[in-house]
Structure 1
Amino acid sequence: MSDLESVVEETLASQLGDAAPGATVAIVNSDEIALAKGYGHADVETGRRIDKKATATRIGSVSKLVTWTAVMQGVQDGVLELDADVNSYLEDSPVTIPDTYANPVTLRHLGTHTAGFSVVPNPGLVTNSEALPRLETALVEDQPDRIRPPDEAVAYSNWGATLAGHIVAEAYDTTFEEYVQSNIFDPLGMKHSTFDQPVPADHPGNLAAPHDSSGDGITRADPVYINWRPAGSMSATALDMAAFMQAHLGYGTDAILNSETMATMHSRQYGRHPAVNGLRYGFFEYGSPSTSYIGHSGGTVYYTAWLGLLPDHDVGVFIGFNGPGDPITPAAEILAEYDLFAESLTPDPTTGRASRERAEAVVGEYKSTGSSFENDWRQVLGLLSRLSVDATDDGGLVTQTMGGDAVEWVETEPYVYHERNGDDVLAVDVVDGRVRQLYLNSQPSTAFLPVTTPNQRAVTLGAVGAAVGGSALSLAGWAGASGWRRLNRSGSGGDSKSTATDETTQPDSGEEGSQ
């Protein structure tokens, strides 16, 4: 990886000083740290700069990869089972999953976001760290309903990840924070990492301050804290994240997981459709399905992060901003610079009457499983991600979200469509002539479900339009699924104009809350 440092600096240039004041970057190649460096300022008010060794940033939902690693440690120890009813681990906890459906919720469902929970719009954010409740209390206070059977559809769930962390703590009779410190951070030498909020005064290093760039210039922001710690309260330095990536690439693996357990975690656990990306255990698949690019995005109100692994090349990249930057695009551009992604090929289009008939069968309106609000004002929050689908005369499709650009698709095999002038893929599950689910390769954390006429966008807007406002939309939440669209526009996914809105996570700090 020659000239790596100049490549990194070039890819970050468009964001540093504009979207965020500083960045922390780690790139590993096999057992070597190819680059670990801090860029810009940790605090614009004091002029303190980011240091790769001592300056930590909040990493949002990238934290979940540590949580899922902890679950797999429990599986390796024989303390947990991926396919056991999670209630069997909650006998001494106030949290209970109701038996709404015949099949129980399992840890495998939690790690693939297929448990069937509704979306909880309030992530339990507070501005006073003394107001943070116990983990089980936070889970009970905002427990979502079970709205579909397990394994039926992907629907990103911060609550489900938090439950998984609580189960680890219950199984080992400790707190979640103490467990990961003793069993992941200490063995890997991640001395500057913690899930604690605020970061303890005697903890090594210092936390980069949160920053806001929504107004004129970049300003320091007030800290926010998150109740659902396992879903995204972790802070870490570039060097700490390098150690974590190397462990997941098989260098130092035995310190946290043996090779067999790691292989299970990295294998596909849930497939949405053969033509699009699926899910590993805790990791999402990105870019072209022919490329084994796995990872997780993270975002809070004032921090963003990305961790991506190319296990076939023994390469990993982590980028964290202490502001609302986009770490996904530069990460993919860095990897693409070294030709580490498989070439994306578009098959020949289908033609004929059968193509037109299939396209007509797909026409309609679809809602994202990431916005499953029903029967109250909160359903307005999902309207921005509603997908309208129309057919073209040649058997293709045109999709559009509210306020978004129209995207054209060409059918390349029955019910599989490639983006015209782009690299995204749209696939449709059809059973007995009726659409069951629709998928976008660029959005592995969600599926799109057909919307019935009474719930379609025009009807919903007419009924609750008066409720739409900044205060309502601000609840739209923090899914760690943000950035698929940006990723798809970069080297790993081509030039896609993804048709669904980014699902972003909310607040984290010089303290603050998470994605």
Structure 2
Amino acid sequence: MKKTLQNLSMTVFLLSTTLVVACTQPFGAMGANQTTSKAASSTKGPMDAKEIEAFADPLFAKKMKEYNVAGSSFVVVRDGKVIVNKGYGFADKEKKIPVDKDTVFQIASVSKTFTALAAMQQVDAGKIDLHGNIEEYLGGLKIPNKTGKSVTMYDLLTYTPGFELPDETTFTGPQYIGQDISMDEFLPKHMPTVIRPPGEVYTYDNTGFLLAGYAVEKASGIPFAQYMDEKVFKPLGMASTSVRFKPELLERMAAHYDLNGEPRPLEGHAPTDGPQGSILSTAEDMVKYMIMQLQNGKFDGKEIVSQKSMELMHSYQAFAEKDIPITTVGFENYFPEYANGQHVVLKGGNMPGHSSLMVLIPEQKTGFFMSYNNDSMISVDIYKEFMDHYFPETEKKAEPVYLPLSEADAQKYFGLYQNTRAYWTRTSITYENGSLVLEGEATGKQKLRMIRPLLFVDEVGEKVAFKEDKNGTIKYFYYTAMNGLSLVAHSQKMEMKKTYSDVPNTSSYKTHINNLSAFSIMGAKSGSKFDPTGSMTQGEFADALIKAEGHYVMAGSEDGLRQQLAAGIPNLNPSAPITRQVAAAMIQNLKQLEPVATTKVKMLDKADAWAADAITILVSQGIVDPDTKVNADGSFNFRAKDLLKRQEASALLDLAFGYYSLPIKH
């Protein structure tokens, strides 16, 4: 759960009765040349503590060094027993405090599985109808909804409620640690609007789980944190787990580090009780939770939740297409190729400086959990290695037979798409020589071959599943590529503006204008007229730039973006007309591009010193409007102090923040 792209991680992600408890020595005491174990893969799953340690010790040593992770917990359960519960490295490397079974971590979005469990308890008790209008359980709180279809608890728990801004309620920061902000106080001020029919498509959704927890609070009549203590944590014996910060847990909490290994501050939540991600826990406690999950809701002779509810939590409910399951009630299925044919449900979580992953293989009565103190993707590597070692793929999949695709049949896929969570993730779909061509800033150009209508595969084997509306019109796609953020949600096809009355078809700006209109970044000035040669104010351009950059959808980020875009530019005045050099400086302030070393450019006209570098960097990257000609020797006239025309703004913003920017070499 993060506020900006720099903080947003995909880590999941989006993993005998004797309790084996040990803490390894810090890595400094381990052999520097240790590498991942070469032991033969086990086809029986993890059974023996010593064998697991022989596999895991060198794996964690290698991967923690590779990902600059200071410390990590690691637990494995099987058949209702704890096989291994270990700590690796340091909970606090400055104080040389090792990770052990009682080290406290923020488990972040793994909390969502606990919220789903609590909600299903209320369903079991008959206090919540899983498929009824969720507003009946929100104490009078109303959800703005443009679809005409009510949101249900099932929609919330399967990540399909259809909110326009699913992260509008995701507030984290050090300032929230000492505050007590109730859901009653918070939610009416930060309620996003439902704009897609609930249940239609997957969008990773923090707001949905916040509302699910709020419904538990209202239906049970017990404050959410108290409910979790009484109905979940205490029955499971999870004495070191809490929705809220408690002094005795903070004393044992692992330090937080960034990707460079530098300490970073502890961050809290608003609201204080965060059903979407505020739980603190330990490895010792999480083994109990996993054992209950793998025992169909039972623990120590008690039924925590019904077997019927647990089956919903462990069976896939939302699919991109029949071969691409995405979510259960509460859990997800990122990186399905790593499952090696096993039925796996998992849930990851991230807070700044802490990450966790829980992986359950229900049919094998096996699970593992890890928490560690940075924001890296080490958990995904551990998951893959674990599955390859203990549950290797036993059947080689047959190569698919690809179907031919004519340009006529490909037409319905064409267009621009925008991720329904990460608005800055945009994609173009076109056609070339019998294949669809997908192009995005993160993935680059990928040719897509058709396995069957609506299902394609890219050049590296990642699948792209399209979804039609009831009229057979393509409306969404889901892309399983790890490169980028397409995994976190379906991408929606944008409606293209066919024409503006004052933009001729021959205009070299027409495509840029239409692209920005499709993404609702810039539209008509009045009526059906775009006013292509009209000027803009600095405030109008800043507004369009914020929309184009896309991170405004993350709660709390817009103010920071506005400060960032203004950095180093003197005498800004929102009401003043904007010049081309001011626009270039604003774009570069947000884009933070490096000049392309292989592209030599030289500006012939004069720009102010604070703008000159921004202009040359953008031009070297190919971010120029059609009327700015770059000569063969790299020289160009930018007209730096001329007023920026609206059509020029559309070109610069489209090239800088559209589905790609050329060449984007950092």
Aligning the two structures, in what range does the TM-score lie when normalised by the shorter sequence? 0.7 to 0.9
Shift of 1:457: 5.2
| 1:276 and 1:439 in contact (8 A); partners too | no
The answer on 1:191 being equivalent to 2:191 is: no
Shift of 1:319: 1.5
The aligned runs of 1:110-129 (5 Å cut-off) are 110-119=156-165, 120-121=167-168, 123-128=170-175, 129=177
CA distance in 2, matches of 1:369, 1:436: 12
> Residue in 1 aligned with 2:224?
176
The answer on 1:417 being equivalent to 2:464 is: no
The answer on 1:345 being equivalent to 2:397 is: yes
| 2:162 and 2:196 in contact (8 A); partners too | yes
The answer on 1:224 being equivalent to 2:294 is: no
Secondary structure of the structure 2 residue equivalent to 1:230: coil
Secondary structure of the structure 2 residue equivalent to 1:398: strand
| 1:355 and 1:414 in contact (8 A); partners too | no
CA distance in 1, matches of 2:514, 2:88: 46
> Residue in 1 aligned with 2:351?
300
Distance 1:132 1:316, change over 3 A: same
CA distance in 2, matches of 1:101, 1:78: 27
CA distance in 2, matches of 1:343, 1:141: 53
> Residue in 1 aligned with 2:202?
154
CA distance in 2, matches of 1:232, 1:13: 29
> Residue in 2 aligned with 1:329?
381
Q: Given the two structures, how large is their TM-score scaled by the length of structure 2?
A: 0.63
CA distance in 2, matches of 1:475, 1:103: 24
Aligned letter for 2:427? Answer: L
The answer on 1:390 being equivalent to 2:436 is: no
CA distance in 2, matches of 1:48, 1:76: 43
Distance 1:403 1:89, change over 3 A: closer
Q: How many residues align?
A: 458
CA distance in 1, matches of 2:155, 2:311: 18
The aligned runs of 1:445-484 (5 Å cut-off) are 445-454=488-497, 467=545, 473=551, 476=554
Aligned letter for 2:333? Answer: E
CA distance in 1, matches of 2:431, 2:398: 20
CA distance in 2, matches of 1:476, 1:195: 23
Shift of 1:223: 1.6
Distance 1:433 1:123, change over 3 A: closer
The aligned runs of 1:68-147 (5 Å cut-off) are 68-91=116-139, 95-98=141-144, 100-119=146-165, 120-121=167-168, 123-128=170-175, 129-147=177-195
Distance 1:341 1:295, change over 3 A: farther
Aligned letter for 1:46? Answer: K
| 1:65 and 1:282 in contact (8 A); partners too | yes
Q: Percent identity?
A: 23
Aligned letter for 2:466? Answer: V
> Residue in 2 aligned with 1:509?
none
CA distance in 2, matches of 1:264, 1:103: 22
Secondary structure of the structure 1 residue equivalent to 2:305: coil
Distance 1:271 1:50, change over 3 A: same
Distance 1:176 1:390, change over 3 A: same
Distance 1:392 1:311, change over 3 A: farther
Distance 1:10 1:361, change over 3 A: farther
Shift of 1:357: 3.7
Shift of 1:269: 2.6
> Residue in 2 aligned with 1:283?
331
Distance 1:203 1:412, change over 3 A: closer
Q: What is the aligned counterpart of 1:8 among 21, 46, 56? A: 56
Aligned letter for 2:292? Answer: A
The answer on 1:237 being equivalent to 2:282 is: yes
CA distance in 1, matches of 2:495, 2:147: 23
The answer on 1:318 being equivalent to 2:369 is: yes
Gaps of 5+ in 2: 1-45, 498-512, 523-540, 557-658, 661-666
> Residue in 2 aligned with 1:408?
447
Shift of 1:343: 4.9
Shift of 1:30: 1.7
| 2:121 and 2:306 in contact (8 A); partners too | no
| 1:43 and 1:220 in contact (8 A); partners too | no
CA distance in 1, matches of 2:330, 2:229: 19
Secondary structure of the structure 2 residue equivalent to 1:144: coil
| 1:267 and 1:280 in contact (8 A); partners too | yes
| 1:126 and 1:132 in contact (8 A); partners too | no
CA distance in 2, matches of 1:24, 1:281: 26
CA distance in 2, matches of 1:48, 1:387: 46
Shift of 1:121: 4.2
Question: What do residues 334-368 of structure 1 show as CA deviations (whole Å, max 9, x unaligned)?
Answer: 1221225575735433344x455433432322111
Secondary structure of the structure 2 residue equivalent to 1:130: coil
| 2:403 and 2:449 in contact (8 A); partners too | no
Aligned letter for 1:206? Answer: R
Aligned letter for 1:337? Answer: H
Shift of 1:79: 1.5
Distance 1:99 1:325, change over 3 A: closer
Aligned letter for 1:193? Answer: T
Question: What do residues 294-334 of structure 1 show as CA deviations (whole Å, max 9, x unaligned)?
Answer: 11111112111111111122111212111112212212221
Gaps of 5+ in 1: 372-381, 479-499, 502-515
| 2:109 and 2:349 in contact (8 A); partners too | yes
Q: What is the aligned counterpart of 2:253 among 193, 207, 215? A: 207
Kindly name which structure, 1 or 2, has the bigger radius of gyration based on alpha carbons.
2
Aligned letter for 1:345? Answer: K
Distance 1:30 1:166, change over 3 A: same
Question: What do residues 246-270 of structure 1 show as CA deviations (whole Å, max 9, x unaligned)?
Answer: 1111163544113222113322333
> Residue in 1 aligned with 2:309?
261
Aligned letter for 1:409? Answer: L
Distance 1:145 1:344, change over 3 A: farther
